[in-house]
Amino acid sequence: MKKILVLNGPNLNMLGLREPEIYGPETLRDVEDLCYETAMGHNMRVECRQTNHEGVLVDWIQEARGIYDGLIINAAAFTHTSVAIHDALRLLDIPIIEVHLSDPKKREEFRHFSYVEPVAARVIAGQGAKGYKLAVEAINELLS
């Protein structure tokens, strides 16, 4: 059974509690449940993790090597700042899907650049929680 790691970055633990007009009404738990359900429907297994700490994300990305078949990442604000996450992702030889609930390219200019995008097989943005479902499906397609 193929295994997917889903990583969510800083402040995404607050989903559903603030700014639903930007990020949607779903909680992080809802988003994770959607990933589990979608993966199960494709006979895959998903593990979901969230952290507010850049170094922890780097550790988890490194640990994915040799264990997971695909990575879905919403690095949140670190998307726009982190060379460390970019470098860690470059070391992976599995498909990487970048997900954002909102579309950062339609927001403030400081959100327009992504350090994840150059290493991602696909970018899914602006589709709310459904973007995670699409990301699991994209990994399934890329691995088939």
Answer for which of 77, 84, 142, 143 binds ligand CA2 (CB under 6 A) is 77
Which residues in 78-117 contact ligand CA2 (CB under 6 A)?
Answer: 79, 100-102, 104, 111
Distance between CA 43 and CA 117 in Å, rounded?
Answer: 27
Helix (H) or strand (E) holding 4: strand 2-8
AA letter at 15? L
The alpha carbon of residue 35 and the mean position of all alpha carbons in its chain are separated, in whole angstroms, by 11
- Residue 28 engages ligand CA2 in binding (rule: CB under 6 A): no
DSSP at 92: -
| Shortest spacing between CB 15 and ligand CA2, in angstroms | 5
| Shortest spacing between CB 1 and ligand CA2, in angstroms | 28
In the complex with ligand CA2, which residue's Cβ is closer, 11 or 45?
A: 11
| Shortest spacing between CB 118 and ligand CA2, in angstroms | 16
Q: Is the distance from CB of 97 to CB of 131 less than 8 angstroms?
A: no
- Residue 122 engages ligand CA2 in binding (rule: CB under 6 A): no
The alpha carbon of residue 132 and the mean position of all alpha carbons in its chain are separated, in whole angstroms, by 7
Selected range binding ligand CA2 among 16-24, 35-43, 46-54, 55-63, rule: CB under 6 A: 16-24
AA letter at 86? H
71 has which bridge partners?
5, 96
Catalytic residues: 23, 100
Residues binding ligand CA2 (CB under 6 A)? 11-12, 14-15, 17-19, 23, 74, 76-77, 79, 100-102, 104, 111
